[in-house]
Amino acid sequence: MNVYDAIITRRSTRRFQRRAVPEEILEKLIEAGRYAPSGGNNQTTHFFVITDRDVLAELADKAQQAFAKMEVSEGTYPSLASSILRSKQGGYVFHYGCPVLIVTANRKDYGNNIADCACALENMMIMGNELDLGTCWINQLKWLNEDPALLEIFRGYGLREDERICGALAVGYAESENGLPERRPLERKGNEVTRI
């Protein structure tokens, strides 16, 4: 697959097989994230690659508990409102039961923290498509990046005092008939282009 095809056919995957991603494939994906550009060549994105099923379950549990305590109001961002309402019902797994969750953190007071993490996440999404992996950007841990229980878990794995989670990526083989991610591009209805 060339870069154009990898970009145009990349789609989000939200149903994953349980099977693990082989280590050499995962290494390539992580490398794609680490070779993303960064503001001022700072390279301060901190990648947490989580494959331990117990940790993934614990994160889902803690996130659900945190969302369940929140309330939805008129202006609540729709995806956040959905996370809150589904958590109140119970059984909400924000990472879709993926076998690999790559969490990206960065310095909380660095102006390009989210931009740098987004470059890394996009690189991994494109590379994931090339590697026949399904991927999906996961924002829930960013919304909860001041939650004490989640902070404590990540501190335990080396999240520094001045770092916060900026985004995450669910990764794994798609639960589809052929085991491949959906590759039909969505119609472009926005992303206006003004040529001058």
Ligand X SMILES: Cc1cc2nc3c(=O)[nH]c(=O)nc-3n(C[C@H](O)[C@H](O)[C@H](O)COP(=O)(O)O)c2cc1C
State which of residues 1, 7, 9, 11 lies at the interface with ligand X (CB under 6 A): 11
Inter-residue contact 66 to 147 (CB < 8 Å)? yes
Q: How far is the CB of 121 from ligand X (least distance, A)?
A: 8
Q: SS3 of 167, please? A: strand
Binding mask 174-193 for ligand X (x = CB under 6 A): ------------x-------
CB nearer to ligand X: pick between 184 and 195: 184
CB 14, min distance to ligand X, A: 6
Q: Which of 63, 66, 138, 169 is the binder for ligand X (CB under 6 A)?
A: 138
- Separation CA 30–CA 2 (nearest Å): 19
Shortest reach from residue 181's CB to ligand X, in Å: 9
DSSP letters of 38-81?
-GGG----EEEEE--HHHHHHHHHHHHHHHHT----TTS-HHHH
Q: Min. distance of Cβ 40 from ligand X in angstroms?
A: 22
Does residue 86 interact with ligand X by CB under 6 A?
Answer: no
In the chain, % helix, strand, coil (3-state, to 5) comes to 40, 15, 45
Number of Cβ atoms within 10 Å of the Cβ of 31? 12
Residue (of 129, 113, 108, 146) closest to 181 by Cα position? 129
When asked if residue 78 is in the footprint of ligand X (CB under 6 A), the reply is no
Select the residue interacting with ligand X from 6, 7, 9, 12 (CB under 6 A): 12
Regarding 136 and contact with ligand X (CB under 6 A), the answer is yes
Please provide the distance, in angstroms rounded to a whole number, between the alpha carbons at the two ends of the chain: 32
Instruction: Choose the binding region for ligand X from 68-76, 103-111, 138-146, 147-155 (rule: CB under 6 A).
Output: 138-146
